[in-house]
Amino acid sequence: MHTIEHWIAGGPAASVSAASSRTAPVYDPATGREQARVLLAETADVDAAVSAAAKAYETWRDSSLSQRMRVMFAFRELLARHEDELARIISAEHGKIISDARGEIVRGREVVEYACGIADALKGGYSDQYSRGVDVLSFREPLGVCAGITPFNFPAMVPLWMHPIAIATGNTFVLKPSERDPSASNLVARLYAEAGLPDGVFNVVHGDKTAVDAILDHPGISAVSFVGSTPVATYVHERGTAAGKRVQALGGAKNHAVVLPDADLDYASDQLVAAAYGSAGERCMAISVAVAVGDAAEPLVEVLERKARAVRVGPGDDPASEMGPLVTRAAQERVGGAVASAAEQGATVVVDGRDLKVEGHEEGFFTGPSLLDHVTATMDAYRTEIFGPVLAVIRVATLDEAIALINANPYGNGTALFTGDGGAARRFQRGVHVGMVGINVPVPVPMAAYSFGGWKDSLIGDSPVHGPEGVRFYTRPKVVTTRWPAGGNPAARGAAFAFPTAN
């Protein structure tokens, strides 16, 4: 049994006399056994991390763009070289299958690649002779110490949406990852150090609400990025902005996939099964609702049932597994309760994943895929974010009815449409009130050069992550107006008390 420490000022926090005395268990979800303890930060630990980051910022903010990009190129290569090690760490603590863990690392690495070209994203503007003898230029400056509070479901990818952009734009960073799967963040910190990032530019503090509140209240932190549930996103946004910080706060989701009668059902069902049950449904972009339009309903449910029953559930390190366990026993119980509630409220349980036992892993946090039919918008299985391998089918008569259903939902993270009709696709993508839309793509997570963020209760405030919006979030603009008076220029002499104009 080992203890996972913070990473502050370039090394494990023991080297800076960490104040932590409380710990929490880190489980192996496949066996249900405790495999490590993680330190839970006190306010003094957060203070130490912020102090280290503030000291590092004094020089990092003045580092050249070429230096920052060299670090990012080296970091990118190290992420690729250590992909297998990082994926196995994620799988061991989260439970997802190793190939899925590799996928999140690759998607996170794409943001690092975007950060490798940060010089282009930070280009300013210049206007020569805007007024007589007056030039105007603009550029963006870093904010200072920034922080990230990230969820358990993507222990590598979601933090990588944040800190590469923050660091490449000249900020320093304090990461508070989920205490359920904390080890990935410490490996990332070590890789940054190997890439040549100066001590204190990237720091990791592990913890619970005590650490979160210390980050939100700390006067030395300029900006906070958060991904998690909507209630906590709202709390983070309100408390962080009240303390004068910029806040990115991404919340929960209820993502719909609409299937039209003309869709290729074999293709659509493959995509839906993967999007609903991949990573045991523990994705904010998972498809949890299939909206079957008209005659698509019966054949869609039939093929979904067959494919849901065929999903191979097992430990994440088994190459034969397609879906691993849930992250905790509490998550397993919550998913079971959601299926039971759906049955009580009138849904048809077509496939029941409750009480699944995996041979040799009977105490693991496993549940099988569940498929619900005849779900309505008033049922709890539709209204709540289950965050597990449960796919609910709602039947509607028309595409317009499907769009109205999606628009009435309080969440607006991601949605998808399966069709061969370009006109229907265009009507859908223009009509839905959702931030990220896929056409024959079930999980429309934007590539790194674009920004990730939903609408409505899926994004508190108005700051998406990574891409151009991420650069804007971690920097602020500065505009400089210059004049160099020449001896023979009468406009440069004498006091002028009228408001200046561009003449």
The catalytic site residues sit at 284
How far apart, in whole angstroms, are the C-alpha atoms of residue 482 and residue 480? Answer: 6
Residue type, 64: S
How far apart, in whole angstroms, are the C-alpha atoms of residue 322 and residue 168? Answer: 36
How far apart, in whole angstroms, are the C-alpha atoms of residue 488 and residue 503? Answer: 17
CB–CB of 194/11 below 8 Å?
no
> C-alpha dihedral over 169, 147, 179, 356, to 10 degrees?
-60
How far apart, in whole angstroms, are the C-alpha atoms of residue 472 and residue 464? Answer: 10
H helices present in 265-348, as ranges: 265-277, 297-309, 329-344
How far apart, in whole angstroms, are the C-alpha atoms of residue 442 and residue 437? Answer: 9
Residue 116 host element (H or E): helix 98-116
CB–CB of 213/245 below 8 Å?
no
How far apart, in whole angstroms, are the C-alpha atoms of residue 499 and residue 502? Answer: 10
Residue 203 host element (H or E): strand 202-204
H helices present in 117-252, as ranges: 118-121, 157-168, 183-194, 209-217, 230-242
Residue type, 409: N
Radius of gyration of the chain from its Cα atoms, rounded to whole angstroms: 25
CB–CB of 230/251 below 8 Å?
yes
How far apart, in whole angstroms, are the C-alpha atoms of residue 429 and residue 439? Answer: 8
Range list of β-strands (E), 77-171: 125-131, 134-142, 145-149
Integer CA distances (angstroms), 357 to 273, 341, 366, 368, 472, in order: 21, 21, 7, 9, 48
